Chains A and B, each alone.
Chain A
Amino acid sequence: MTGLPWLDELISLVLATLRSATPLIFAALGGFFSERSGTVQISLEGQMLMGALTGAVIALKTGNPYLGFICGGLAGVFVTLVFAVFSLKLRMDQIVLGTGLNILAMGLAPFVTKVFFDSTGSTPSLPAESRFTSEPMFLLFALIPLLLWWFAKTKSSLYVQFAGENPTILSSLGKSVLKIRLYSLMTCGLLAGFGGASLSLFLASAYSPNMTAGRGFIALAALIFGKWKPGPTIAACLFFAFIDSLQVQLQGSGLPVQFIQILPYLVTVVALAGFFGRSRAPAAIGKPLEESK
């Protein structure tokens, strides 16, 4: 508290933005890996839900939020492994598959909570000592420069990009596109799972039904808004989170809340219509691999 009311409000707005951006950025970066490597990823929501659920369950059982967070990430990996089996191996349509996994995650959660806590769809509240105060946020902001460096400077990031743009070149170099897509998918699951776990262990204090509330899809919108580039994608997430926090602040100021709530989506639509330059998806996205690798 600085004594200056406007500065206090600004600080609380910035902090609120960073907090609510955390799960979004995790998920959007997950989507980044998946989509850049050539896999359409609309099951971020399902991965986040599984991450949130597993994180809460493990943290409740062990009392250790870090363990919960890691297991939340692994739960996301598990979802993407299922995704990989069906999309890479059995060449199933990725949109249908992603939708299926989202619905599966929604249905699995009440089942799990019933078995563990005799509760349909939510876990008991986590005590203060077994949840985070801000650690996932710091982890994320430590991870971002590392990721930006990886994207700009490393050979492996080029492999990922080629898997999504022109997989035939990659396979002519003797690289396995399948493997690169698999690893990218797993990274996606890990990050989206972290995003979900940061929701249940950091922003809230329990798992409640469908607690992601569409954040997986907002992350996807951010990815598209950010033209499938990591920096702009993160910026888009921050922008969406900022609008959300601003809306919290502006409620009761006379401006209709509903209007501010549609702002992020409106901006996305406008952006996709080409007003901020073209946003182009990776060329080979959603196309299954040729039989002869």
Chain B
Amino acid sequence: MCKFNKLSVFFAALLFFSLCQASNKIGLVLDKGGKDDKSFNSAAYEGAMKAQKELGIELKYVEAMDSNALESLHRSFAKRGFDLVIGVGFAQAEAVNKIAAQFPQTKFALIDGEAKQPNVKNLLFEEHEGSFVVGVLAAMASKSGKVGFIGGMDIPLIRRFELGFREGIKFQNPKGSLESNYIGVTGEAWNNPAKAKELALSQFAKGVDVVFVAAGASGTGVFDAAEEKKKLAIGVDSNQNWMKPGFILTSMMKRVDVAVYETIKEVHQNKFSGGTFRFGLKNSGVDYALDSFNKNLMTPEMKKRADDVKIQISSGKIKVSDFYKVKR
């Protein structure tokens, strides 16, 4: 009798596991900032959570404590038969490229990077377009004409934000100036709010009154500084308006959540295809955030102007320089 019981438990377990396998298994490899950076990684995590809730997929996420771990994280997901492995962040391009070649049956998605394998879907965002729009808004909100930019790690991706932002300011106010700072040159720059705050305070001391921060989890330091000095900050990646209502003018949203959700949905419906996909203003992949937290900071003219600029960029009337292309 006892033996029989054990056997039935075993079969029940087997049945259970086979049922599990029927639902799509999605692995999410987050970047150093972690799922609670309230910015880039949080957006990816939210997209995946939404997919879990609505599509009933099975989600496992890991956070890369250091870049050397990326490859083995991707490999372990692929080995365990996950249907889709999503790499979040430019730093994962190499790891995804290598592992995707080793596991051609597994589907991969890569955000902010390009891997040239047929089973990889590269999700790229036109950050310069969105940054241009918030640049216009910053120039309109600034009383001194001095606007600031604080980047996390000094890499081409963040330079792309800066260049678009700079052009947006000049477009709106040719006399406006941009004060630009970077937190550091290593991955630690995404996690150094104390340094970010110092940079913001020094910019405010120089007369800057609106600061756009693209620095992952370090961004909170800039928001603190804005609150202390009663100035304005602009958030990035996620909608960060709620973090310090009244001090965050708007957020340059990269709809990483939408991209992640849509990719998972494609896998779920068996419509996945590899290649490179770009998310710009045209398909609302990047946008500025407007909600109840910042509606008192944005005048009707600002909103009108921003929407106008958005249309002009989408239609190609305004050309925003792309740092990736300018450099070459």
Report which A residues bind B (CB closer than 8 A): 8-9, 12, 16, 19-20, 119-122, 125, 128, 133, 199, 203-206, 208-211, 213-214, 244-245, 248-249, 251-252, 257-258, 261
Contacts and interface: CB of A to CB of B under 8 A. Distances in A.
Contact of A257 (B182, B191, B227): B182
A122 B181 contact: no
Given A121-B63, A213-B191, A203 B182 contact: no
A122 B34 contact: yes
Contacts of A214: 188
A2 B246 CA distance: 28
Contacts of A209: 32, 34, 191, 217
B35 A128 contact: no
Choose among A119, A214, A251, A261 the residue with the greatest number of B CB atoms under 10 Å from its CB: A251
B193 A211 contact: yes
A199 B243 CA distance: 20
Interface in B191-214: 191-195, 197-199, 201-202, 205-206
Contact of B36 (A9, A119, A210, A211): A119
Choose among B36, B185, B192 the residue with the greatest number of A CB atoms under 10 Å from its CB: B36
18 contacts: A9-B205, A9-B206, A119-B35, A122-B34, A122-B37, A203-B193, A205-B220, A205-B221, A206-B220, A208-B217, A208-B220, A213-B191, A244-B198, A248-B195, A248-B202, A249-B202, A252-B181, A261-B184
A213 B187 CA distance: 10
Contacts of B199: 248, 251
A258 to B, nearest CB: 6
Given A209-B34, A258-B185, A261-B185, A16 B220 contact: no
Choose among A119, A122, A206, A261 the residue with the greatest number of B CB atoms under 10 Å from its CB: A122
Interface in B23-48: 32, 34-37
A122 B193 CA distance: 12
Contacts of B36: 119-122
Nearest to A207: B193
Contacts of A208: 191, 193, 217-218, 220
B180 interface: yes
Interface of B: 32, 34-37, 63, 154, 179-182, 184-185, 188, 191-195, 197-199, 201-202, 205-206, 217-218, 220-221, 224, 227-228, 243
Given A120-B35, A120-B36, A261-B185, A12 B217 contact: no
Nearest to A251: B181
A211 B220 contact: no
Nearest to B61: A120
Nearest to B191: A208
For the residues of B in contact with A, the DSSP-based class is: helix
Given A251-B181, A261-B185, A204 B201 contact: no
A128 B181 CA distance: 25
Contacts of B188: 210, 213-214
Nearest to B63: A120
Given A125-B220, A261-B185, A210 B191 contact: yes
Given A119-B35, A204-B193, A251-B181, 8 more contacts: A120-B36, A121-B36, A133-B228, A204-B220, A213-B188, A213-B192, A251-B199, A258-B185
Contacts of A249: 202
Given A16-B202, A125-B243, A252-B180, A211 B34 contact: no
B34 A120 contact: yes
Contacts of B206: 9
